[in-house]
Amino acid sequence: MEITNVMEYKAIAKQKLPKMVYDYYASGAEDQWTLKENREAFSRILFRPRILIDVSRIDMATTVLGFKISMPIMIAPTAMQKMAHPEGEYATARAASAAGTIMTLSSWATSSVEEVASTGPGIRFFQLYVYKDRNVVAQLVRRAERAGFKAIALTVDTPRLGRREADIKNRFTLPPFLTLKNFEGLDLGRMDGTNDSGLASYVAGQIDRSLSWKDVKWLQTITSMPILVKGVLTAEDSKNSLFVILCSFFFFFFFFKKSIHVILFFNLTNPARLAIQNGAAGIIVSNHGARQLDYVPATITALEEVVRAARGQVPVFLDGGVRRGTDVFKALALGASGVFIGRPVVFSLAAEGEAGVRRVLQMLRDEFELTMALSGCTSLKEITRSHIVTEADLHRPVSRL
């Protein structure tokens, strides 16, 4: 049967994959309220399309941290992709590169940073989990940088693993023929089976629960890659992100004297803007695909608060429940600079390998282009807040005509 939208891959993946693997990919935390809400919140946002605008040419290209991509749709880090397909992360990397967009490689990939780099050219970000052993982190970050990765997506919502009950029931663990490839040489590549979730035990053993803003600063001293903070859901944290990012930039330029004239320029203009122009950092509004704290709001609901707090000083991205081109448009209308997709990648990988991921990216691209055309927008900057209406808008007092 002809596949006509991204969501159809989920059922195919369910048929093809072992239950333990499918459940790991599909499930969310506890009651899975946020999992459902990540989708439903999109459906409560409606359009206010403009008409009689020449939409014969639509430009979806954009720039992320200074890198030009073909569309504002990127690939989120999802762990252990070789459980979905033997080509795993290689297939995803090739598909992203063919679509002219960014792939984010998970720390817990079943292919190493070097292996993914060897698949060919492409703009790639590296998602980082901070291990208790900082030597492990420093080594890994340097390897990613050497392999040509362009930014770090630092995941900040996982001091402990969320309670994913399907994984506990299935006693989820990485199949014995696979390893967490980035950690193989460090003796941390295996996941032991336990009598609940093997991944939760691995996280409890290795991941640093004490991670705090000072570590974000530390990270900037060991790499010149820009850092995206992944997992922000509130204005309070987005302000903190900005503060740390700015401090780090001053630190970086003063101590490494990379560019004296940049420091002077800093004093004359808005430092945050300069930080952005220099590819400093950004924020990813994410609830980890509803796999961490249940009953947090949908990311599309939290987005506007974070965008407001960021005041245009750093780009804000979103992931969580993006399945349609209309979702991409809604996120951009609420101020996102781009979106990332997670599950559609692993489900399409399971169904059709690289061809599946290519198709997912193409379908989202086509749908997004159509949404732009039917809304009367010919470029991303023409997408505005007034092209949509949210529930919050309906509850706001309206001025009398």
For the segment 144-173, give every residue that binds ligand FNR (CB under 6 A). Answer: 155
Which 3 state secondary structure label does DSSP give 230? strand
Q: Which one among 41, 285, 306, 322 touches ligand FNR, defined by CB under 6 A?
A: 322
Helix runs in 44-161, H state only: 88-99, 113-117, 134-146
Residue whose structure tokens are 């252990």: 80
Residue with Cβ nearer ligand FNR (9 or 25): 25
**Structure tokens, 131:** 């291990």
Q: Does 108 bind ligand FNR (CB under 6 A)?
A: yes
Q: Does 319 bind ligand FNR (CB under 6 A)?
A: yes
342 is in an annotated binding site: yes
**Structure tokens, 91:** 């297939």
| Strands 67-69 and 62-64, bridge-based pairing | antiparallel
Give the nearest distance from C-beta 231 to ligand FNR in angstroms: 7
Q: Interface with ligand FNR by CB under 6 A: which range of 55-63, 76-84, 176-184, 310-318?
A: 76-84
- Rounded to whole angstroms, the Cα distance separating 140 from 135 reads 8
For the segment 1-60, give every residue that binds ligand FNR (CB under 6 A). Answer: 25, 38
**Structure tokens, 309:** 């707090």
Q: What's the angle, vertex CA 268, arms to CA 264 and CA 270, rounded to 5? A: 115
Total number of residues that touch ligand FNR (CB under 6 A): 23
269 is in an annotated binding site: no
Q: DSSP assignment of 38-67, as one string? A: HHHHHHT-EE----S---SS-B--EEETTE
- Rounded to whole angstroms, the Cα distance separating 363 from 373 reads 15
Q: Which one among 10, 94, 330, 343 touches ligand FNR, defined by CB under 6 A?
A: 343
142 is in an annotated binding site: no
230 is in an annotated binding site: yes
Q: Which one among 32, 62, 223, 286 touches ligand FNR, defined by CB under 6 A?
A: 286
107 is in an annotated binding site: no
Residue with Cβ nearer ligand FNR (69 or 341): 341
Tell me whether residue 395 is one of the annotated catalytic residues: no
- Rounded to whole angstroms, the Cα distance separating 93 from 100 reads 11
Q: Are 286 and 318 in contact (CB under 8 A)?
A: yes
**Structure tokens, 261:** 């004239």
Q: Does 356 bind ligand FNR (CB under 6 A)?
A: no
Residue with Cβ nearer ligand FNR (290 or 333): 290
Nearest-CB residue for ligand FNR = 342
Sign of the CA dihedral running 142, 143, 147, 151: negative
Q: Which one among 60, 76, 306, 336 touches ligand FNR, defined by CB under 6 A?
A: 76
Which residues does residue 398 pair with via DSSP β-bridges, in sequence order?
A: none
Catalytically active residues are: 288
Binding residues for ligand FNR (CB under 6 A): 25, 38, 76-79, 106, 108, 127, 155, 230, 286, 288-289, 291, 319-322, 341-343, 346
Where is the binding site for glyoxylate, in residues? 24, 129, 164, 288, 291
